[in-house]
A = this chain, B = another copy of it.
Amino acid sequence: MNWHKKPRDSYHHGNLRKALIDAALDLIGSKGTGGFTFAEAARHAGVSPAAPYRHYKDREALVADVAGEGYRAFAVAISKAWKDGKPDTATAFKRVGNAYLDFARKEPAYYSAMFESGLNVSTYPELRAAADEAFETLKVAVAALVATAPEGQRPPVLMVSLHVWAVSHGIASLFGRGDGAGFKQPISAEELLESHMLVYLRGLGLTI
């Protein structure tokens, strides 16, 4: 049987692991985490259905690896959007929010693997680490925001970070998916997030 889409020159693939992640991204992106199959990823990479087992314990482990990549890419996106709080905290923070929504829309495959695959994060230490680090990135921005409050009236950074994460995630999941999934509403995800943050920050006593 010839499994090669683009026939390899050598018996060994050379970089199957990466090829599998790329294939998985393609497939999850177009057919969702559920539609993705290990065998088809193997076919995309031009190897037999058994080959992936040399790199991943099972199908789920590949999804977990994709999710890990996703968290790392996500952290980078957030970090870039924050851009060290330049030119000012308010502008940068708004960019961060939009970056969250952007990521959900433009990287549905990552987003799916990260949040909709039903993975038990605790099962994959590397995954948990990547997720934690992504959250840390968000906390950096929130910490700067909280620091604009007068001393003695600063709300806890952790709490605010969790609030911000939750609302961003909720809006992105429910209203901000590019595909047909999610619930269409007469207000855009971006408007929803911005209006929410205005209210919330006023509630915190932060006048941005």
Contacts and interface: CB of A to CB of B under 8 A. Distances in A.
Interface string A78-111: 0000000000000000000000000000000000
A121 B183 contact: yes
Contacts of A179: 120
Given A34-B118, A169-B170, A200-B203, A162 B180 contact: no
Tier of interface size on chain A: 35 or more
Contacts of A115: 173
Given A169-B170, A203-B203, A195 B159 contact: yes
A122 B182 CA distance: 9
Contacts of A120: 179-181
Interface string A191-204: 01001101111111
Nearest to A191: B159
Interface string A124-160: 0000000100010000000000000000000100110
Contacts of A192: 159, 162-163, 166
Contacts of A158: 185-187
A58 interface: no
Contacts of A112: 118
Contacts of A122: 180
A49 to B, nearest CB: 19
Interface of A: 32-34, 112, 115-123, 131, 135, 155, 158-159, 162-163, 165-171, 173-175, 179-183, 185-187, 192, 195-196, 198-204
Given A116-B118, A166-B171, 10 more contacts: A34-B118, A116-B116, A158-B185, A165-B174, A166-B167, A166-B170, A167-B196, A170-B170, A196-B200, A203-B204
